[in-house]
C-alpha cells in the first residue's frame, strides 16, 4: 500500500457550511487527518458514514500476475473473477481477494485503471484513473454512503462514490467530476481461462513475511447474500419492488434498467434494446457466490456479461441451442465472453457494454427511477 502523500496540506475555513456539516468537516480534519476541501461537496456531509480509518481496508497498488497457463492451483473454475480486457491485455481479478482489499490500482493495455469491488453492495466496477492528464491512485476512505464504498484519491483527497463514480467532496467535487467507466464483467474463472488463454490472473497478496496477507478462502462477509431483511450499515429505505439483496444486472442511461438474476438464469440469453442500443446479456449459471467460504456449502449465484449485439452495423439475435450460444443471422457459435468460436463470424468479438452486478437495494437507492425487466414481455428487442 502506498503511503498517502497529498500534494498540499492547506488550511480550510468551514464556517460557510451548515453547522452540522461544519462539525463533521472539522472532525474529519482534526481527528482523522483528512485534508479534503469539504467546502466543495455535491452531497450533505452528514450522508457520509465513518466506519474505519482510511485504507484500513488496504488497496493493492502493485498487483502481481500469473499467466493463465501457469495459474495457481487454488483457483476453481466456478469462482468469480472480475475481467478487464483492454487492447488485448486481459486480466482476471478474483473476488476472493477483492472482498478483502476492495481496490486494485493497475495498468491494463497501457490504460491506467482502478478495479473496485464493494462487498456490501456486491458491486464490481472499473474506472480509468487519469483525469485531465493527472494520474490518480485510489484508496478506501473508511466511509460509506448508502452502504456503498466511498473511495478517495491520494493526490487531492477528493472523496468518490463507487457505484456512480461521482466526486462527493473535495477539489473534483467543485467541478462535479465523474470518473470514466471501463467495461468489465464478473464471470467464472474457468470461463476466463478458456476464452483468454493468453490472459493473466492476479495472485494473492503476501505480506513482508511471505504469508498471505488475508485469509482469502474465508470472506469477511460470509453469508451476507443470504439475508432478506435490511442490509448491513444501510440506513435508507429499501425499494420494495424486489428483495433487498436480490442480484441484478444494471445498465445506466436516460432510463436505468435492471434485470433480475432469477429471470436471466431462466433465459440464459436475453436480447433487448436499452436506451435505443441493442444488447445481449449472457448468463453463466455455474458461477459460485463470493460470499461462501471454504467450510460452507457451495452456493451458485450465477454471473452475467453484457455486450452490444451490433456486428458490422447490424444487430444479431442470440439464442441458446443444443450446441451452445448461437445467433440466428449466421448460425455462428459464441462464448460467454462474447467471442465467436465457430461459424461464419469466427473470431469476431462483441463490444462489451458498461454494466454492473449489484444487490438491488444498493442500485435502487442511487437510481430510484430504474425500470425492472424480469419477464419476456418487458423486453423491447
pLDDT in tens, 150-192: 999 999 999 999 999 999 999 999 999 999 999 999 999 999 9
Q: What pLDDT does 227 receive? A: 67
Model confidence at 78: pLDDT above 80: yes
Other CB atoms within 10 A of residue 111 CB:
17
Model confidence at 293: pLDDT above 90: no
Q: What is the pLDDT of residues 358-368, one digit of tens each?
A: 999 999 999 99
Model confidence at 238: pLDDT above 60: yes
Cβ partners under 8 Å of residue 44, min gap 6? 21
Domain identity same for 75 and 179: yes
Model confidence at 295: pLDDT above 80: no
Q: What is the pLDDT of residues 93-106, one digit of tens each?
A: 999 999 999 999 99
Q: What is the pLDDT of residues 105-152, one digit of tens each?
A: 999 999 999 999 999 999 999 999 999 999 999 999 999 999 999 999
> Are 192 and 81 within 8 A, CB to CB?
yes
Q: What pLDDT does 8 receive? A: 52
Domain identity same for 89 and 195: yes
Domain identity same for 197 and 250: no
CATH of the domain at 154: 2.102.10
Rg of the chain over Cα atoms, rounded to whole angstroms, equals: 21
Model confidence at 294: pLDDT above 80: no
Please return the burial class of 30, using the count of CB atoms within 10 Å of its CB with bins 0-12, 13-18 and 19+. Answer: exposed
Lowest mean pLDDT among 13-27, 53-67, 266-280, 304-318: 13-27
- Tell me whether residue 295 is in a domain: yes
Domain identity same for 198 and 69: yes
- Tell me whether residue 114 is in a domain: yes
Model confidence at 247: pLDDT above 80: yes
Model confidence at 59: pLDDT above 60: yes
Average pLDDT score over the chain = 92
- Tell me whether residue 12 is in a domain: no
Distance CA 82, CA 117 (A): 9
Q: Tell me the pLDDT band of 296, cut-offs 50, 70 and 90.
A: low
Domain identity same for 151 and 83: yes
> Are 339 and 324 within 8 A, CB to CB?
no
Q: Count up the domains in the chain and report the number.
A: 2
Domain identity same for 193 and 286: no
Determine what percent of the chain is predicted with pLDDT higher than 90. 81
- Tell me whether residue 260 is in a domain: yes
Domain identity same for 262 and 370: yes
Which comes out higher in pLDDT, residue 307 or 237?
A: 307
Distance CA 201, CA 71 (A): 7
The Cα-based distances of 248 to 17, 75, 175, 369 in angstroms read 38, 25, 31, 15
Q: What pLDDT does 144 receive? A: 97
Point out the domain boundary residue: 169, 202, 235. Answer: 202
Please return the burial class of 211, using the count of CB atoms within 10 Å of its CB with bins 0-12, 13-18 and 19+. Answer: exposed
Strand spans (E) along 87-190: 89-94, 103-108, 111-118, 123-128, 130-131, 134-135, 138-145, 148-153, 159-161, 167-169, 181-182, 185-188
Q: What is the pLDDT of residues 184-226, one digit of tens each?
A: 999 999 999 999 999 999 999 887 777 788 899 889 988 888 7
Q: What pLDDT does 207 receive? A: 76
Range of the domain at 99: 65-202
Summarize the confidence of residues 277-289 as an average pLDDT.
95
Please return the burial class of 265, using the count of CB atoms within 10 Å of its CB with bins 0-12, 13-18 and 19+. Answer: middle
Residue with cell 491520494: 154
- Tell me whether residue 60 is in a domain: no
Amino acid at each position: 500500500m502506498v503511503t498517502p502523500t497529498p500534494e498540499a496540506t492547506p488550511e480550510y475555513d468551514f464556517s460557510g457550511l451548515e453547522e452540522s456539516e461544519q462539525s463533521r468537516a472539522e472532525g474529519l480534519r482534526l481527528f482523522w487527518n483528512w485534508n479534503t476541501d469539504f467546502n466543495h461537496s455535491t452531497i450533505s456531509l452528514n450522508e457520509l458514514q465513518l466506519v474505519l480509518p482510511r485504507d484500513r481496508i488496504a488497496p493493492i497498488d502493485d498487483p502481481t500476475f500469473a499467466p493463465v497457463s501457469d495459474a495457481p492451483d487454488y483457483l476453481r473454475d466456478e469462482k468469480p473473477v472480475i475481467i478487464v480486457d483492454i487492447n488485448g491485455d486481459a486480466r482476471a481479478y478474483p473476488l476472493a481477494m477483492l472482498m478483502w482489499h476492495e481496490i486494485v490500482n493497475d495498468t491494463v493495455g497501457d490504460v491506467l485503471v482502478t478495479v473496485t469491488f464493494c462487498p456490501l453492495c456486491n458491486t464490481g466496477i472499473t474506472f480509468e484513473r487519469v483525469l485531465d492528464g493527472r494520474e490518480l491512485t485510489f484508496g478506501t476512505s473508511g466511509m460509506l454512503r448508502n452502504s456503498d464504498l466511498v473511495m478517495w484519491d491520494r493526490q487531492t483527497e477528493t472523496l468518490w462514490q463507487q457505484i456512480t463514480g461521482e466526486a462527493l467532496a473535495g477539489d473534483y467535487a467543485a467541478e462535479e467530476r465523474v470518473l470514466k467507466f471501463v467495461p468489465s464483467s464478473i464471470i467464472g474463472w474457468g470461463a476466463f481461462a478458456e476464452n483468454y488463454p493468453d490472459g493473466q490472473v492476479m495472485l494473492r497478496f503476501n505480506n513482508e513475511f511471505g504469508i498471505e496477507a488475508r485469509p482469502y478462502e474465508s470472506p469477511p462477509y460470509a453469508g451476507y447474500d443470504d439475508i432478506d431483511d435490511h442490509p448491513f450499515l444501510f440506513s435508507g429505505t429499501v425499494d420494495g419492488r424486489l428483495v433487498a439483496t436480490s442480484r441484478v444486472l444494471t445498465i445506466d442511461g436516460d432510463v436505468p434498467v435492471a434485470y433480475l438474476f432469477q429471470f436471466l438464469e431462466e433465459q440464459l440469453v436475453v436480447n433487448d434494446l436499452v436506451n435505443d442500443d441493442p444488447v445481449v446479456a449472457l448468463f453463466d449459471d455455474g458461477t459460485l457466490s463470493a460470499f461462501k467460504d471454504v467450510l460452507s456449502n457451495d452456493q451458485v449465484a450465477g454471473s452475467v456479461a453484457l455486450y452490444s449485439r451490433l456486428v458490422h452495423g447490424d444487430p444479431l439475435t442470440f439464442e441458446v441451442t443444443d450446441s451452445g450460444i448461437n445467433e440466428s443471422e449466421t448460425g455462428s457459435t459464441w462464448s460467454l465472453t462474447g467471442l465467436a468460436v465457430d461459424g461464419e463470424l469466427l473470431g469476431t468479438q462483441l463490444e462489451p457494454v458498461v454494466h454492473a452486478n449489484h444487490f438491488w437495494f444498493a442500485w435502487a437507492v442511487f437510481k430510484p427511477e430504474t425500470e425492472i425487466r424480469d419477464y419476456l414481455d418487458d423486453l423491447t428487442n
